Structure 1
Amino acid sequence: MNGKLGVKAVLDGDHGRIIAWLTQICMQSGEGRWLFPEQGLRIETHRKGNARPDGLLAPIDTFVGQGEWADPEGVLMVVEVTSGDSDTDRRDRAEKPRAYAETGLPVYLLIDRDTCEVKVHSAPDGVRYEQVVTVPFGKSVALPDPVGIELDTEPLKDWVH
């Protein structure tokens, strides 16, 4: 990230279960959207201009015809789930929110298994997200438009390490 070499933590079963849980919720919203896991995205201010978020919520045909690194146009929400590695604090809590806001991604959802919190970043101004709502696992939180989903975070308590 930002020209720095790093090792990405190996994803564990709880990490995968969280993405599956969120995928199911997004599908049930019934609006022709899908949570794409690990889809590469062009993020100019991230690493070498690319990022591979844990999930991207977008209309089902958003990435049709695109290569490994897709254009961020049409992405409604970017999702990261902390992995517990030594780089999580810098990467998921500082660098990615800034890069995603600079790209104009409307909502950044961080599921932080280290602090047992969900952070919903929204209203990007081209530099940072102007709004950040933090709730502990077990509380409900609204994912603002263009997502428009109420997220009950109670199940996340079962998937922390």
Structure 2
Amino acid sequence: MLAVEITSRGNAETDRTEELRGYANAAVPLYLLVDSWHPNGAAATLFENSGNGTYQRHTTVPFGKPIALPEPFDLELDTSEFPLPATAAEEDD
């Protein structure tokens, strides 16, 4: 019903492209991408309505905003606790 991927710096592009296509081709109804490395800032994206190897709809929210998961979950996921990526200075420590 739901596949979830959490990106790391090394796999973010794969999760956004290859994994996305793979789940759509497998007709997984919902794909949630928790993407600390999103080009526009840390965000969660829910892809819905898979068909013909793609998802017909997606919703992206920045970390800190809720994202709605439809039936059978029917809930809002709080993203305010999702970790932001480490800064270069933190990675050097």
Normalization by structure 2: what TM-score? 0.81
> What CA distance in whole angstroms lies between the structure 1 residues aligned with 2:21 and 2:76?
24
| TM-superposed deviation, 1:149 | 2.1
Q: Deviations over 1:68-105 (max 9, x none)?
A: xxxxxxxx1000000111x421x100111111011110
Alignment length, in residue pairs? 83
1:93 aligned residue: 16
Match of 2:31 among 108, 113, 118: 108
One-letter amino acid of the structure 1 residue matched with residue 65 of structure 2: K
1:83 aligns with 2:8: yes
Q: Report percent identity of matched pairs.
A: 36
Structure 1 residue matching 2:76: 3-state secondary structure: strand
| TM-superposed deviation, 1:137 | 0.4
Structure 2 residue matching 1:154: 3-state secondary structure: coil
1:118 aligned residue: 44
Higher relative contact order (CA 8 A, sep 6+): 2
> What CA distance in whole angstroms lies between the structure 1 residues aligned with 2:31 and 2:3?
5
| TM-superposed deviation, 1:152 | 1.2
The structure whose Rg is larger is: 1
1:135 aligned residue: 61
- Greater percentage in strand: 2
1:145 aligned residue: 71
Structure 2 residue matching 1:134: 3-state secondary structure: strand
Q: Which consecutive unaligned segments of at least 5 residues does structure 1 have? A: 1-75
Q: Which consecutive unaligned segments of at least 5 residues does structure 2 have? A: 87-93
Moved beyond 6 Å, runs of 4+:
none
| TM-superposed deviation, 1:144 | 1.7
2:85 aligned residue: 160
Q: For 1:9-28, what aligned pairs fall within 5 Å after superposition?
A: none
CA contact (8 A) 1:141 1:151 kept: yes
> What CA distance in whole angstroms lies between the structure 2 residues aligned with 1:93 and 1:148?
24
